[in-house]
Structure 1
Amino acid sequence: MAFRRIFYLAAFLLVPALSAVTPLIAIPAITSTAGARGWEAYALGLSIGSAACVIVELGWPLTGPQRVAAEAPGDRWRTLVSSIRTRLLVLLILGPLAVLVAIALTRITGAAYTITAALMAAASASTGLSGNWYFTGVGKPLRILTSDAIPRALLVSAASLAVVGGAPLQVIPAGFLIAVLFSPVASLLLARHERREKARFTLRDDVRVMRLQFTAMSGRSVAALYAALPITLVGIFAPAAVATFAAAERLMRMSLTVLQAVPNALQNWLGSAPSRGEMRRRARMAIALNSSVGVVAGTGFALIAPWFAPILFTGTVAIDPLLATAAGIVLALVCVTRATGPLALIRYGRVHAVTASAIAAAIVGVPAICILAVLYGAVGATMGEILAEVTAASVQIAVLWRILRRPPKT
């Protein structure tokens, strides 16, 4: 039993670790061949596409894991098929829009490599079709490797080697796009054994599901304003700081990708609590564990990032200790809100509280990022992110405090 638990946790750690390693291959290829301008275009496209991705997801990564954890196999299959259908409909609208925004922004800011930014925006938006949340919920992390992480790593690595060998820069986002479009197809193939009957849906069914997912989607969409769009905001209000800020932001988000293993591993455990009392105990443990991991990881990031950045970005971009410290604080705060929001509040059915925290954070964070970026550059923009995350955490903790103070019924 102990070995199985260790293997289970190791599998959850391997998936985000591989996802985080993939950009480590692409970034040096970009900066060594296209310099800071190529990196700016790539980062802008990634930022715009990531914001669109949050809407494309329709909140499924937020509500889906614990939902399928409690469903029977046949119902799980219907949930997966329904989620892919509805997300694909949204992508058909938002994907082209993300491409147009990327093209417009690269021209407004004077950035080069417009096609690279456009392709990266399309690829990032398409990431919203991933079935990773489904395999997280059913406790089968190794299937994320075969459906998403490994194909993405192979294609991006091959594309990066091709760019180093003389291929145009847009080959990297093109490879990324092919990989993320493969993911939902592979997810359906890997989950097809849970099908009990043919899943039949109509457009009316899809619209109904999208309405049901609206609350979760709206919260994540608002959160994208201060979590996925900061690079875009800095590109508009402080374009001279884009390369440096994007470097720190990307390294920090890559670290968070690895740390996502912790809440992912806890989704099925928390979602399957047999009683209210046990659920409360597990929620408290999840928050304590994620917070501790965040403090340790944030401190490590502040110490390591200034040393590691010149190596990763091939001397093109540097991260000073002050910027690294600010980004480390953001990292720690995100670890906290990952536990208080997508884990604890969702388990207690408080999706509206997560949405409210995102709205409050966006109201504080978006203007703070814009204004502080103009005044203090990359460090100022990161300070704006800190204010946003503190706001989100405060709202979520306040709601949880009221919930967890009540004595459990059973």
Structure 2
Amino acid sequence: MLLLAAVSLIAIPAMVGASGARPWGMIAAGQAIGAVAAVIVGFGWGLSGPAIIAKSAPGERRREYVESALARMVLFVPAALAAFAAAWIVGGDFAIYAGFGALSSASVGLTANWYFVGTDSPYMLLICETLPRVLGTLAGIAFMLLGSSALVGVVWQLVGMLAAFLTSGVWILRTSKAIPRTEYPRRPMLAVLRRQQNGVISMGLSAVYASAPILIVTAIIPASQPLYAVVEKVQRQINVGLNPFVTVLQGWVPRAQPGFLRSRIRLCLSICTAGSVLVIIVMFFGAPLLVGWLGNNQIHPPVHVYLLMAIVTGLSLFETALSKACLAAVERLGVVARATALSGIVGLAGVAVLAHFWGAGGALMGVMLGLFMRIVMELVGLKTALQDEGGDLSPSSRNQRPLPKGR
């Protein structure tokens, strides 16, 4: 994932240089719309999948992947077409750029990284998932450097994701073909999707919350759209680069031995707090160089925007680990869904109001407000879940008993 994030960042100045800041800004807007479609396609497996796979027998793992793959292929066509249409409307003079940006982003919902995380298979994640996407992005960069437009670059990103989906599926099915299928018959698709409802709701609301600000900025202050787009893109790609950190925790926390889940959750939160502070410091001092390079020296945010971007990135890292690793491990995805819904309303209202007065900086302040509210609500929900089982989050909690498997 670090490799993918690095290559994706390199693609940004290549796109800006190939077609200019405005077309690239529309690609970014389209990708924000496509991110919502990706959540519909992924249907919550990215949140609940690692814990399910980590706790399952090999036959159950195969069934889980097959059921998810079939469901996601069915969902991909309508979700991707809807995203393309919405991006086309938003894109205006650069509608085709926005449309293919949406398609490339929507295809990420087909990812199988949650399966590899659950099986603790980092090398296969690299080979089957990351490598095809990296090669697709590199091919796009090469074509753009040879004179093609940014549209060609984003199409190659789409090709890379589709190749990753096929490669991962072939490997998973081939390595599990010896398992008798009759032992684990497929369940009805509606039942499978119904089981994922909390995961898809929480991830869907998160995607809307992550994607809506750039659309709000585009509508309210179009002149600031390229600036916000590059800041948002840097923040998003840094979070992608940090995904390995979160995915390790996603697999590590649920695999705790009976009696050690609470202590593992506390350690996870401590690590994430330190990591988030470090990310904020590094982002604040390193972002000016990165944004200047990515924006092809055409975009120059003020200092307070860099500070807000750094804080939002650090809070995002902490919240992602809190929801995907800790709350998923205690099967409290309903808490994540409720926190995301309520904080999203407050945060997006803040984005709309504050962006009107303070532009891109105001939009980031609204995002930060919503993230902080979500973290507080999720921490309260996690503490309640642990106390319900006779424990708490305090360091003094020593006599711990395991969470019942039914919880």
Taking structure 2 as the reference length, the TM-score comes to 0.92
Superposed, which structure 2 residues align to 1:104-143 within 5 Å? Answer: 104-107=89-92, 112-143=93-124
CA contact (8 A) 1:216 1:351 kept: yes
* Distance in 1 (alpha carbons) for counterparts of 2:305 and 2:83: 29
CA contact (8 A) 2:15 2:149 kept: no
* Distance in 1 (alpha carbons) for counterparts of 2:385 and 2:185: 37
Answer yes or no: is 1:219 the counterpart of 2:197: no
Structure 1 residues without counterparts, runs of 5 or longer: 1-15
| Per-residue deviation, residues 199-247 of structure 1 (Å, max 9, x unmatched) | 8977x81121111111110111112221133212221222221111111
Code of the residue aligned with 2:236 in structure 1: it is R
Counterpart residue number, 1:6? none
Counterpart residue number, 1:206? 189
Code of the residue aligned with 1:325 in structure 2: it is L
CA contact (8 A) 2:230 2:294 kept: no
Answer yes or no: is 1:283 the counterpart of 2:275: no
* Distance in 2 (alpha carbons) for counterparts of 1:350 and 1:403: 8
Answer yes or no: is 1:398 the counterpart of 2:362: no
Counterpart residue number, 2:246? 263
Quote the sequence identity (%): 28
Matched residue SS, 2:300 = coil
Matched residue SS, 2:253 = helix
CA contact (8 A) 1:306 1:320 kept: no
Could you list the structure 1 runs, at least 4 aligned residues long, displaced by more than 6 angstroms after superposition: 199-202
| Per-residue deviation, residues 332-390 of structure 1 (Å, max 9, x unmatched) | 11122122211111111111101111111111111111221121111011001101101
Matched residue SS, 1:228 = helix
CA contact (8 A) 1:82 1:201 kept: no
Choose which of 140, 153, 160 in structure 2 pairs with 1:159. Answer: 140
Matched residue SS, 1:349 = coil
Matched residue SS, 2:150 = coil
* Distance in 2 (alpha carbons) for counterparts of 1:229 and 1:38: 19
Counterpart residue number, 1:308? 290
Q: Cα–Cα, structure 1 residues 164 and 115, in superposed 2: closer, same or farther, change >3 Å? A: same
Answer yes or no: is 1:347 the counterpart of 2:341: no
Choose which of 389, 405, 409 in structure 1 pairs with 2:401. Answer: 409
Counterpart residue number, 1:12? none
Matched residue SS, 2:163 = helix
Counterpart residue number, 2:75? 90
* Distance in 2 (alpha carbons) for counterparts of 1:138 and 1:224: 26
Give me the CA root mean square deviation: 1.6
Answer yes or no: is 1:371 the counterpart of 2:361: no
* Distance in 2 (alpha carbons) for counterparts of 1:233 and 1:197: 51
Displacement after TM superposition at 1:309 (Å): 1.2
Displacement after TM superposition at 1:65 (Å): 0.2
* Distance in 2 (alpha carbons) for counterparts of 1:24 and 1:351: 32
Q: Return 118-127 or 266-275, whichever deviates more.
A: 266-275
CA contact (8 A) 1:40 1:243 kept: yes
Code of the residue aligned with 1:385 in structure 2: it is V
* Distance in 1 (alpha carbons) for counterparts of 2:257 and 2:226: 49
CA contact (8 A) 2:43 2:196 kept: yes
Counterpart residue number, 1:229? 212
* Distance in 1 (alpha carbons) for counterparts of 2:126 and 2:212: 27
Displacement after TM superposition at 1:178 (Å): 0.9
Displacement after TM superposition at 1:168 (Å): 2.8
Counterpart residue number, 1:335? 317
Counterpart residue number, 1:59? 44
Taking structure 1 as the reference length, the TM-score comes to 0.91
Answer yes or no: is 1:29 the counterpart of 2:14: yes
| Per-residue deviation, residues 112-168 of structure 1 (Å, max 9, x unmatched) | 432121111011101100101110111001112212221111121121221221123
Choose which of 229, 233, 237 in structure 2 pairs with 1:254. Answer: 237
Displacement after TM superposition at 1:33 (Å): 2.1
Q: Number of matched residues?
A: 389
Answer yes or no: is 1:45 the counterpart of 2:30: yes
CA contact (8 A) 2:18 2:148 kept: no
